[in-house]
Amino acid sequence: MSEDLKSIFQNLINNNIQNESIDDVLQYLIRLFPDEICFSTSFSMEDQVITNFVKNSDIKIFTLDTGRLFEDTYNTWNLTRSKYKVNVKAYYPDQNELEPFIQEKGPDSFYTSVDNRKACCNIRKVQPLKRALKGNKIWITGLRAEHSPDRKDLQQLEWDESNQIIKYHPLLFWSTDDVKNYIKEKQIPYNILHDKGFVSIGCAPCTRAIQPGEDFRAGRWWWEDASKKECGLHVHK
């Protein structure tokens, strides 16, 4: 089945589908994969923009609730539900994995080593993601090229070998100003932490505001070497 999906992916690339407008691409994908498209939101500015695009469609929206999110993130979640009347399905860590890990390592072991931090990310994010993606053919994300040097060579449509799924990044080439202007124009609710220097918002213990001139990702896992700052959700070869 994955080989068939990879062939479809290649046809999409050959036909330059990704160069169409976001609305046109979404409609095309919905016709091609009814009930097999999902969108992962962390309630970031980018994800709020995408929610505005998919709100009236059959695209499934989900989020990964790690149990360590900011209260402002939950507030944004509530505002999004209220404004758009959308169902956001939450996926949580498996208690049979999390509880023994906390018992052995402690609640904040991610500060003590990269291995512990990655293990925490795996339990709280990567494994729930795999459950969320199961049964879907398209995974829509809010990745942007500005987020990281590793993403500058990405295409809007890519094949995710790890999860055997086609990924679509509709805002890949949008600038931060593009995102902010769209939010203002459409009056989209967003996480107020963005107004306090938080540009990339994850778990509360692992995220801080950045200072002027700092890299976009400097606020995530700030105690680690920059080359090790990934959580395993988006693996780029």
DSSP for 79-109? Answer: HHHHHH---EEEE---HHHHHHHHHHH-TTG
Rg over CA atoms, the chain: 18
Task: Determine whether 231 is an active site residue.
Answer: yes
The beta strands (E) that lie in 83-209 are given as 88-91, 138-140, 157-160, 165-168
* Local structure of 202: helix, strand or coil: coil
Question: What order do you get walking across the sheet with 157-160 strand by strand?
Answer: 88-91, 60-64, 37-40, 138-140, 165-168, 157-160
Inter-CA distances, 100 with 94, 95, 97, 126, 143, Å: 11, 8, 6, 17, 33
Tokens (6 digits) for 34? 């009814």
At a CB cut-off of 8 Å and minimum separation 6, what does 69 contact?
Answer: 203, 204
Q: 38, 120, 203, 231: which is the annotated catalytic residue?
A: 231
What positions carry a catalytic annotation?
231
